[in-house]
Structure 1
Amino acid sequence: MDNVSLTLTEDHHAALYAHLFPGDGLEAVAFVACGRSAGGDRHRLVARQIFPVPHDRCRREANGVWWNADDIVPLIEQADFEGLSLVKVHSHPQGYQRFSSIDDTSDAELLPTIRSWVEAKVPHGSAVMLPDGRMFGRYLWRGDEMPALSLINVVGPTLRFWWAEDSEPEEAPLSFGEAQDQAFGEGTTRQMRRLRIAVIGGSGTGSPTIEQLMRLGAGHLVIADDQGIEERNLNRITYATKDDADNERLKVEAAAADIERKGLGTVVEPIPKAIQTPEAIRAVSQCDIVFGCVDSITGRFITNLLASHYLLAYFDTGILLDAQQEGPDRGRIKNILGTVHYLVPGRSSLLTRDQFTLQDVAAEGLHQNDPAAARQQVEDKYIKGMQVRRPAVVSVNMFASSLAVNDFLARLHPYRHIPNKDVGSIEFSLAELRLTADEEMERCKVMGRHLGYGDRRPLLGLPECGE
């Protein structure tokens, strides 16, 4: 049986809820047009756009809703033209937690009709929303059966996951996770066992992030990094040895071997490629969560763009060691600063949070592909000088990584006194012993244009990412 899931942003979910539960106790219906992440062992439907069916165009009752098929013909035609998957979503105001016989009759007529109309051989689905916001669903694809969607999840300030009853995780080792369940909420380890999490970058903050996620019980880790281990990495990569450095062993290879050796049940998928490559994009698009642990502008931009396309919860970790630039104390550290950004697709981005500009992205790309031309443009003042490598200290990396992972846990099982919606990023200064939560920033129009696009040609809409 195929593994098909549905992902929405919190804004999608809120729009659906407002339409499906207007307060009159009657059912209502809407459709979700979805892009996809296909080609792996999962088929993720990622919401792109919500299409409510107007209440006055429906016959609405407490236990059923009917609408004119002509009203959704334009939507089906759009799905056919763009190769989209369509998911019907309706409400059960009475809280009935199964598909009703009326639903069965409706879906048996609707889903085959959509499938026959849309030329692309893609899954289409039907889902129910309950008064408390929970959802469950099913899909039609290759045959005539309608199996359950394995997962419906919502990416927002708080992460919500609703799993099908038959998608139980493999049993963790005895007593594994009891302490963290006590600390962060019952079922934390059970939830972690079901998640697929990507870590971009296997050094710096990536190494301790991988270690923490493994010991928290992550079921599946995708690690993307195209570099080998060097001697200078040994001061900060937890899984690296002198022998690894001498042999320039790939970071992802060493990380995978370390995870497998510890035997805690985490499946690891090493991707020895940079994030802008098709192999890495495809693998990360199959995940639920992504941790960005690279300091290159290109890597952070691509990861942000990928998270927008595939509706991934994105944690970005950055560190800056601020040193005295001039005078007798030149080189002395003035401050140690860092930020953990949490980015919800469709809202703010690293661009609107002033981490870099599109000009910076172009400048770094030129620096990598044509260093001579980049130097000339710096001299001509077309682009500003690029900082290629940041200093790295293991204790600082671990501090920042721990903040990111604990932020993730707070969004999985809220434990903070501050609501998650009020924490868009967390800044720290070790010199000032300061920890500050900043609110969400303005929405990003650049990233917003790509929301829920999923797979496309070329990948991410970028020729350099084409297959």
Structure 2
Amino acid sequence: MKPAITLAMAGVTHAMLMRHLFPGDGLEAATVLVCSQSPAPRRRLVVRKAIPVPHEACSYRAVDAIVWPGSYIETAIDVAEREGLTIILLHSHPGGWLDFSEVDDKSDERVIPGIFQAFGDRHGSAVMTPDGAVRARLYSPDMECETVDLVTVGGDDIRYGWSKEIANGNLPRRCLAFTSGMTLELGRLSAAIIGVSGTGSIVGEQVARLGFGHVLLVDPDKVEKKNLNRILNSTLADAENARLKVEMFAEAIEAYRGPVVARAIPLEVGTREAIEAVAQCDVIFCCVDSQEGRMFADKIAAAFLIPLFDVGVVIPTFVKNEMPAIADVCGRIDYVQPGGSTLSDRGIYTPKGLRDEDLRKTDPDAFADEIREGYIKGLQEEAPSVISLNMRAASTVVGEFVARAFPYRQEPNRLYARTMFSLAAFDEDHYAEDDFQHAGDDALLGRGCQEPLLGMPAFRKRRKPE
């Protein structure tokens, strides 16, 4: 069953909460979370800001109770009221009981109505245990309570905490990777595939067959004969009829998964409709060959706290004896966690690259003297035979997701922020999250639906004329 309400936070936020809520003295501690939202219809809250309550500011701290000043709630109201954000009061349960006590219930009955007097139609409370698990609930102004079905953290590992699985105040152990338990859990999650071509179609095929409950396909292009050799499920009839790639692929998924699993968005990712659709997903796979597409994926992941997996392949060439020769056959897989180093930080897209792409679209004559390079750099090739390379890269990027959502590596996942492989050198290199310098510009982090969307004036929602 898909989650009715989700609470998402960045790994860096979760790590900060762990440090503050469990300082080592075995006593309860508190933080106020200010949350924005993903687009409707999904009810998905994203933690924009955490306001820790200093331990020394609390008038009482015990192993099973805490009393802290209301001024920190007032600070949260000042932050949240202008945009109508959601406030969640979070405190720790050092004893490890992942449930709400009678003391917690009575506290909410006293405190939450005061927040509603200020503003809003949904606020809530949450508890956290020393293992990092979080349980949350939301209230309406009349204090009717709703359980937050899923709490997810996009960090070095991707955590999923399902409220319905909590028994006797404890979450069960995570199911093992590659088991039927993993399939069942994926059936409650949604994945966005941006770019459904040579690599993206293979990623989409794996994601659908792994059992994701919802697969969003974003790509504006149509099937052509020249790419039949690398787009899974495409046929000669699709090319002759110039079918949209996403519609062709959604139909293929429906044939073996049934209806309602796949949704086709035949648009560029840099459109409001596509952004709002991707923003409702639990994970993003970016399989485009443009810097602009990667930029939008990067921004969506940050604004809506969604783990992002980016994949690219390239075959560089050189001239040898006046003839073109293969220099390498390689692929790159990047995992971007919200609040960590971005694709921009890693140089995957640059201001110059974005300007050049824009010029190519707006003034193609200015680029007439340059080769439009695809897979094979330095050589024009309409229908490159690259499906084996794409298969390798697509398998690696989906495997990277599995390794983080259902950890099985012998080393920490933090060591695998980037994987690069060379088929020519038969080599594979890995780069840790700490190998990349984060620029520290987190203005988008947890921004959610705040206008303008993604902080870009071009996406400011226009008011309907009265």
- Same fold, TM-score > 0.5, yes or no: yes
8 Å Cα contact 1:240/1:254 also seen in 2: yes
Alpha-carbon offset, residue 10 of structure 1: 1.4
Report if aligned partners of 2:189, 2:214 keep a CA contact under 8 Å in 1: yes
Shift of 1:466: 4.0
Say what the alpha-carbon RMSD is for the aligned residues.
2.3
Question: More deviation in 72-81 or 248-257?
Answer: 72-81
> Given the superposition, is the C-alpha separation of residues 285 and 443 from structure 1 closer, same or farther in structure 2, using an over 3 Å criterion?
farther
The aligned counterpart of 1:173 is none
Unaligned runs of 5+ residues in structure 1 are 168-180, 380-384
Q: Which residue of the partner structure matches residue 184 of structure 2?
A: 190
Q: Paired residue for 1:228, among 222, 225, 228?
A: 222
Alignment of 1:314-393 (within 5 A): 314-325=308-319, 327-330=321-324, 332-372=325-365, 374-375=366-367, 387=372, 389-391=374-376, 392=384, 393=386
TM-score normalised over the length of structure 2:
0.89
Distance 1:206 1:353, change over 3 A: same
Is residue 263 of structure 1 aligned with residue 288 of structure 2? no
The answer to whether the 8 Å contact 1:6/1:46 transfers is yes
Deviation of the 1:357 alpha carbon: 1.2
Does 1:9 pair with 2:10? yes
User: For 1:392-421, what per-residue CA distance to the aligned partner results, in whole angstroms no more than 9, with x for missing partners?
Assistant: 511111110000011111111122222201
Aligned partners of 2:188 and 2:213 also within 8 Å: yes
**Residue in structure 2 matched with residue 172 of structure 1 by the alignment:** none
CA distance in 1, matches of 2:260, 2:159: 22
Aligned residue number for residue 48 of structure 1: 48
Distance change >3 Å, CA 25–CA 186, structure 1 → 2:
farther
Check the 8 A contact 2:221/2:245 in 1, yes or no: yes
Matched, 1:277 2:277: no
Q: How far off its partner does 1:143 sit?
A: 5.0
Letter in 1 for 2:221: Q
CA distance in 2, matches of 1:425, 1:261: 34
In the alignment, structure 2 segments of 5+ residues that lack a partner are 167-174, 377-383, 462-466
Paired residues of 2:51 and 2:72 also in contact (CA < 8 A): no
Query: In the alignment, what sits opposite 1:102?
Result: 103
What's the offset of the Cα at 1:70? 2.5
Matched, 1:435 2:428: yes
- Is residue 409 of structure 2 the alignment partner of residue 416 of structure 1? yes
Q: Does 1:213 align with 2:207?
A: yes
Q: Percent of aligned positions with the same letter in both sequences?
A: 38
Distance in 1 between residues matched to 2:66 and 2:134, nearest whole Å = 17
Q: Quick check: 2:3–2:188 contact (8 Å CA) kept in 1?
A: no
- 1:109-130 CA-to-partner distances (Å, cap 9, x unmatched) read 3223223313xx4532211101
Question: Structure 1 105/369 Cα, relative in aligned 2: closer, same or farther at 3 Å?
Answer: farther
Q: Report the secondary structure of 1:49's partner residue.
A: strand
Give yes or no for contact 1:292–1:317 (8 Å, CA) kept in 2. Answer: yes
CA distance in 2, matches of 1:318, 1:7: 27
TM-score (norm 1): 0.89
1:204 aligns with 2:203: no
1:177: which partner in 2? none
Cα deviation for residue 219 of structure 1 reads 1.1
Q: Is the CA contact (8 Å cut-off) linking 1:214 and 1:264 kept in structure 2? A: no
Q: Displacement of 1:447 after TM fit?
A: 5.2
User: Partner letter of residue 447 of structure 2?
Assistant: Y
**Partners of 1:227 and 1:466 in 2: how far apart?**
26
Structure 2 counterpart of 1:175: none
Which letter maps to 2:240? D
Superimposed CA distance per residue, residues 270-323 of structure 1 (whole angstroms, 9 cap, x where no aligned partner): 111110111110111001100000010100011001101011100000111111
Residues of 2 paired with 1:195 and 1:322: CA distance?
37
Per the alignment, residue 148 of structure 1 pairs with 147
> Kindly tell me: are residues 309 and 135 of structure 1, through their superposed partners in 2, closer, same or farther at Cα, counting changes over 3 Å?
same
Q: Deviations over 1:53-76 (max 9, x none)?
A: 111121212211111213331221
Q: CA offsets, 1:437-463, max 9 Å, x none?
A: 111133433752211101122211123
Deviations 1:133-169 (A, max 9, x none): 11111012465311110110110111100012189xx
2:448 equivalent in structure 1: 454
Question: Per-residue deviation at 1:355?
Answer: 1.8
The CA distance in 2 between the partners of 1:143 and 1:464, in whole Å, is 39
